[in-house]
Amino acid sequence: MSMEISNRYGLDYINKAQTEQTERAEEAAKSKEKDRPEKIPAPKDEYISSEKSGKKPSGLYHMGQDENGNPKIIFDTVKKAEEAESEQPKGARLEGASDNDRVKVTIGNMDKVKKEIEKLKEEKKQLEQQLKMAAGNEQKTKELEAKLAQVEAELSVKDTAEYKKQHAEYTTEE
Structure confidence at residue 123 (pLDDT): 93
Give yes or no for a contact between 164 and 94, defined as CB atoms under 8 angstroms apart: no
Structure confidence at residue 90 (pLDDT): 47
Which of the residue ranges 36-50, 115-129, 143-157 would you say has the lowest mean pLDDT?
36-50
Whole-number mean pLDDT of the chain? Answer: 76
DSSP 17: H
pLDDT digits (tens, 9 = 90+) for 87-109: 555 444 445 555 555 667 777 78
Cβ-Cβ contacts under 8 Å for 148 (sequence gap 6 or more): 124, 127, 128, 131
* Exposure b/e, 23-56, CB count within 10 A at least 16 = b: eeeeeeeeeeeeeeeeeeeeeeeeeeeeeeeeee
Instruction: Give the model's confidence band at 133: pLDDT under 50 very low, under 70 low, under 90 confident, else very high.
Output: confident
Which DSSP string corresponds to 97-124? --TTT---EEEEE-HHHHHHHHHHHHHH
Which DSSP string corresponds to 57-96? PSEEEEEEE-TTS-EEEEEEEHHHHHHHHHHS-GGGSPTT
pLDDT digits (tens, 9 = 90+) for 17-71: 788 888 988 888 777 666 666 677 777 777 777 677 666 666 667 678 888 888 8
Give yes or no for a contact between 160 and 136, defined as CB atoms under 8 angstroms apart: no
Could you tell me the pTM of the whole model? Answer: 0.40
Within 13 Å of residue 4, how many CA atoms lie on the same side as its CB? 2
Instruction: Give the whole-angstrom CA distance, residue 61 versus residue 104.
Output: 15
Which of the residue ranges 32-41, 70-79, 81-90, 129-138 would you say has the lowest mean pLDDT?
81-90
